[in-house]
A and B are shown apart, each in its own frame.
Chain A
Amino acid sequence: MLKNLKEYVKPKDLKEAITILSKNPEKAKIIAGGTSVVISNNKKIEILVDIKNLNLNYIKKNKNEIIIGATTTINELLESKIIQQYCNGIIYKSAYNIASTPVRNLITVGGNISQVYPWSDLPLSLLLVNAKIKIENKSKTRIIPILELFQKHPLVYLKNDEIITEIILPENKNYKGNFVKFAKTQFDFSLVDAAIMVKIKNKEFEDVKLGISATSPLPQILSTSSNMLIGKKTNDKEAINIAIQNTSKEAMVNKDIRVSVEYKREIIPVLLRRLLEEII
């Protein structure tokens, strides 16, 4: 329970929201979907700034990019034709098994990437498609690659008066993506998430990104293994075998009370191989 919460404010615009946050650096926090803050016991929080009414709820196409407003919910992502068709549905697939219907009506895209839990499904796909994040504060607006946001934990990276306002998906022309969540049940937190982004030209891998999450605090791209495939023919079984097997070694896998590290290392190449075979 947020025992020390005294005020719940609903600012009319972004400027007002940022002003409240910067005037109360220790006490004020942003709330959007609320699925993590509402059940927290954070005693420091005295003011919650609700950003659900700042008109940040949209998915639109701008030239070659897709722009997602930060307070767009997971179910709104799933209902969007633009998202369903984007890169072979990689974003759609990673959003599909997040929690349950009523929770997906609450969780926002911006919240999901600023809060990032180890088991969060969406951040991995956003990392693989090289999403850009628009962050605004009192004096400036900046757009950074999501990789930068994930260098440290976003909760550390983002200053108290900074708000993620948009998530921008580059076109990624001719790329195909794929994603799978591996968990004990559909509803459970993932044990391993795997995703790939592949560009194939003349039956040859022009670009490959193999990624995993839920094995460490933040999603990872397995660059060494990915690079082993670049320039290889898509029917070169041996090259694929070597690269896929390498992911098991390359991945950072932390301890998990539910299954062993060895088990996760076995699962990672299996999932990545399936994803690859589905799209080549």
Chain B
Amino acid sequence: MIKINVTINNEKKELEVKPYEKLVDALRRYGYKGTKKGCYEGTCGACVVLLNNKPVNSCLILAPAVENQQITTIEGIGTMNKPHPLQESIVEAGGVQCGYCTPGFIMSAYALLLKNPEPTEEEIKRATDGNLCRCTGYVKKIEGVLKAVEKMRGGK
């Protein structure tokens, strides 16, 4: 086991990880279970987290690689009582069914809004192209993101 220092959701943490442990496994072991484990090979996007504000597949990163870096997981952007506008709007739009792809999708959309708060529909599609959904499809999710953009524009 090796010890690594990492900032997760703006909190400084010390994690003990195996050299070959994937970031998704380490995060889940430490309780960040919003990050889902899907294909485990970089295709489905269920495990997307932000590494220094950029979306990445946490199944394609070894945990020791993130030493001294900043990670943002779904837990870091909203809670049950105080959801992020993206979380709220995607639920309102009916963009959630089984929910497994939702955290990864929201992290990709969240990363987009960080650098581009007024995205077009095309830009949303492009930014979330790494998040596969097998239930509702994508139309309602994209509607949800557009709704969130509107809410956030209103300063909420």
**Residue numbers in A under 8 Å from B72 (CB-CB):** none
**Residue numbers in A under 8 Å from B20 (CB-CB):** 1-3, 5
**Residue numbers in A under 8 Å from B56 (CB-CB):** 102, 105-106
**Inter-subunit contact A8/B65 (CB<8 Å):** yes
Q: How far is the CA of A7 from the CA of B19 in the complex (A)?
A: 6
B61 proximal to A (CB < 8 A) = yes
From A18-26, A32-40, A131-139, A254-262, the one touching the partner chain is: A32-40
**Residue numbers in A under 8 Å from B22 (CB-CB):** 38
**Closest Cβ neighbor of A73 among chain B residues:** B54
Determine which of B55, B67, B127 lies in contact with A10 in the assembled complex, contact meaning CB atoms within 8 Å. B67
Q: How many Å from the CB of A119 to the closest CB on chain B?
A: 14
Q: How many Å from the CB of B42 to the closest CB on chain A?
A: 5
**Residue numbers in B under 8 Å from A31 (CB-CB):** 62, 65
Q: How many Å from the CB of B35 to the closest CB on chain A?
A: 12
**Inter-subunit contact B48/A102 (CB<8 Å):** yes
**Closest Cβ neighbor of B129 among chain A residues:** A100
**Inter-subunit contact B64/A106 (CB<8 Å):** no
Determine which of A1, A35, A48, A186 lies in contact with B42 in the assembled complex, contact meaning CB atoms within 8 Å. A35
Contact with B along A98-115 (1 / 0, CB 8 A): 011111011000000000
B41 proximal to A (CB < 8 A) = yes
B87 proximal to A (CB < 8 A) = no
A15 proximal to B (CB < 8 A) = no
Q: How many Å from the CB of B118 to the closest CB on chain A?
A: 18
Q: How far is the CA of A75 from the CA of B55 in the complex (A)?
A: 11
**Closest Cβ neighbor of B40 among chain A residues:** A39
Q: How far is the CA of A33 from the CA of B65 in the complex (A)?
A: 10
Interface residues of A in 164-193 (CB under 8 A from B): 186-187
Q: How far is the CA of A99 from the CA of B39 in the complex (A)?
A: 15
**Residue numbers in A under 8 Å from B60 (CB-CB):** 33-35, 38-39, 103, 106
Assess A39 versus B19: contact at CB under 8 Å? Given A102-B56, A106-B61. no
Q: How many Å from the CB of A172 to the closest CB on chain B?
A: 28
Q: How far is the CA of A187 from the CA of B56 in the complex (A)?
A: 16
Determine which of B55, B61, B108, B131 lies in contact with A34 in the assembled complex, contact meaning CB atoms within 8 Å. B61
Determine which of A10, A38, A101 lies in contact with B61 in the assembled complex, contact meaning CB atoms within 8 Å. A38
**Inter-subunit contact A102/B65 (CB<8 Å):** no
**Residue numbers in A under 8 Å from B45 (CB-CB):** 100, 102
**Inter-subunit contact B19/A105 (CB<8 Å):** no
Assess A105 versus B62: contact at CB under 8 Å? Given A38-B22, A39-B42. no
**Residue numbers in B under 8 Å from A61 (CB-CB):** none
Determine which of A34, A99, A105 lies in contact with B65 in the assembled complex, contact meaning CB atoms within 8 Å. A34
B89 proximal to A (CB < 8 A) = no
Q: Name the residue in B2, B19, B127, B131 with the highest tally of chain A Cβ atoms < 10 Å from its Cβ.
A: B19
Q: Tell me the A residues contacting B by CB distance below 8 Å.
A: 1-3, 5-8, 10, 31, 33-35, 38-39, 48, 50, 52, 75, 99-103, 105-106, 186-187
Closest 5 CB pairs of A and B: A100-B130, A8-B64, A5-B20, A2-B20, A102-B130
Can you offer 28 A-B residue contacts whose CB atoms are under 8 A? A1-B20, A3-B20, A8-B2, A8-B64, A10-B67, A31-B62, A31-B65, A35-B42, A38-B60, A38-B61, A38-B62, A39-B41, A39-B42, A39-B59, A50-B65, A99-B130, A100-B130, A101-B108, A101-B127, A101-B129, A102-B56, A102-B57, A103-B60, A103-B130, A106-B57, A106-B61, A186-B129, A187-B129
Given contacts A1-B20, A34-B61, A101-B127, 20 further A-B contacts (CB under 8 A): A2-B62, A3-B20, A5-B62, A6-B19, A7-B19, A10-B67, A31-B62, A33-B60, A38-B59, A38-B60, A48-B19, A99-B130, A102-B55, A102-B56, A102-B57, A102-B108, A102-B130, A103-B60, A106-B56, A106-B57
Q: Tell me the B residues contacting A by CB distance below 8 Å.
A: 2, 19-20, 22, 40-42, 45, 48, 51, 54-57, 59-62, 64-65, 67, 108, 126-131
